[in-house]
């Protein structure tokens, strides 16, 4: 039987082994970061910083005529007001320890636009969506003339956009996140450090400046296309089968209902028949 002291010894040995393994993993991750990831993050920062400086000096606004389908009232917007930071707050963190690079700008139009939404659930969904996109807005809730809960929203024509490169430390990768660049979409993709090349950065910058959209086109191989097509066909077949089952069930219910109606009619007819006979018999007497 193991004594308390032996149990404590084993627990300590187990913990020491775990800490040793964790330390080895941490050392390996740190080595990967310094050797492969940091140089790429420094390159990303230097290139994007130069882009922001040029755009700011040139005061070059990019015109956007169809930003989103949800709010055609947005009208024509101008992409401008570029900024860059590495700490998420507007400053530069340690150049030898860059964990993120953010390029921020706004798509701005004249004034604001208003619209109304009815129903508590829809109002809550609208508020959640607008806040998630960081849109400047004002809104007030009221009961409209039809007695329905409603809300009036006033949206300033200003869409904040962010391109963010960040380090996925545990996976030794670099992640790109794009928010609100077009149609309020969110784009996310992980890259191996070796994949972050001058060519890739050029594609990102071209996409940022709306010169083309090749960067975010889905690259689906034939095998993936076949898999997606098979899945769509299976879902379609399942839906057709489900609809057929509903039709059969409805037909059975209708048939049963008709039988019940026929039975009820027969019972009423029979009751009326005996009632007439009874009445006739009484008269005869």
For the chain, the average pLDDT equals 84
Residue with tokens 């009208």: 75
- Mean pLDDT of the region 77-81: 96
Give the whole-number percent of the chain exceeding pLDDT 90.
58
Q: What is the pLDDT at residue 227?
A: 58
pLDDT score for 220: 42
Q: Return the beta strands (E) in the chain as ranges.
A: 62-64, 77-85, 100-118, 137-143, 149-168, 173-179, 186-191
| Residue for token pair 């969110």 | 186
Instruction: Dump pLDDT digits (tens) for 258-269.
Output: 766 655 555 555
Q: For 139-192, write each residue's pLDDT tens digit.
A: 999 998 889 999 999 999 999 999 999 999 999 999 999 999 999 999 999 999
Q: Which are the contacts of 51, defined by CB distance < 8 A and separation ≥ 6? A: 82, 103, 205, 208
Q: What is the mean pLDDT of residues 31-41?
A: 96
Q: Where are the domains of the chain?
A: 19-217, 222-285
Say if residues 82 and 52 touch (Cβ distance below 8 Å): yes
Instruction: Name which of 79, 97, 99 is nearest 88 in CA terms.
Output: 99
pLDDT in tens, 176-232: 999 999 999 999 999 999 999 999 999 999 999 999 877 666 444 455 545 556 655
Helices (H) and strands (E) in the chain, counts: 5, 7
> What does pTM read for this prediction?
0.69
Structure tokens at 208: 């940022």
């Amino acid at each position: 039987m193991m004594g308390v002291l032996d149990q404590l010894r084993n627990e300590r040995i187990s913990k020491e082994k775990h800490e040793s393994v964790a330390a080895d993993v941490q050392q390996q991750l740190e080595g990967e970061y310094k050797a492969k990831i940091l140089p790429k993050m420094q390159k990303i920062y230097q290139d994007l910083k130069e882009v922001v400086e040029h755009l700011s000096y040139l005061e070059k606004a990019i015109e956007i005529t169809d930003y989103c389908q949800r709010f055609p009232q947005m009208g024509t917007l101008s992409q401008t007001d570029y900024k860059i930071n590495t700490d998420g707050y507007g400053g530069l963190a340690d150049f030898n320890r860059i964990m993120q690079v953010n390029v921020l700008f706004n798509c701005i139009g004249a004034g604001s636009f208003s619209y109304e939404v009815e129903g508590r659930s829809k109002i809550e969904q609208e508020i959640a969506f607008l806040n998630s996109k960081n849109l400047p807005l004002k809104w007030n809730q009221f009961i409209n003339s039809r007695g329905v809960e409603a809300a009036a929203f006033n949206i300033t024509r200003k869409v904040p956009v962010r391109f963010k490169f960040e380090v996925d430390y545990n996976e030794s990768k670099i992640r790109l996140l794009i928010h609100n660049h077009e149609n309020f979409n969110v784009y996310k993709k992980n890259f191996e450090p070796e994949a972050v090349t001058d060519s890739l950065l050029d594609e990102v910058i071209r996409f940022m400046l709306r010169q083309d959209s090749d960067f975010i086109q889905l690259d689906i191989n034939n095998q993936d296309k076949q898999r997606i097509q098979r899945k769509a066909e299976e879902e379609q077949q399942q839906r057709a089968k489900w609809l057929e089952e509903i039709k059969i069930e409805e037909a059975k219910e209708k048939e049963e209902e008709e039988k019940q109606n026929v039975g009820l009619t027969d019972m009423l007819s029979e009751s009326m028949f005996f009632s007439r006979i009874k009445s006739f018999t009484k008269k005869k007497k």
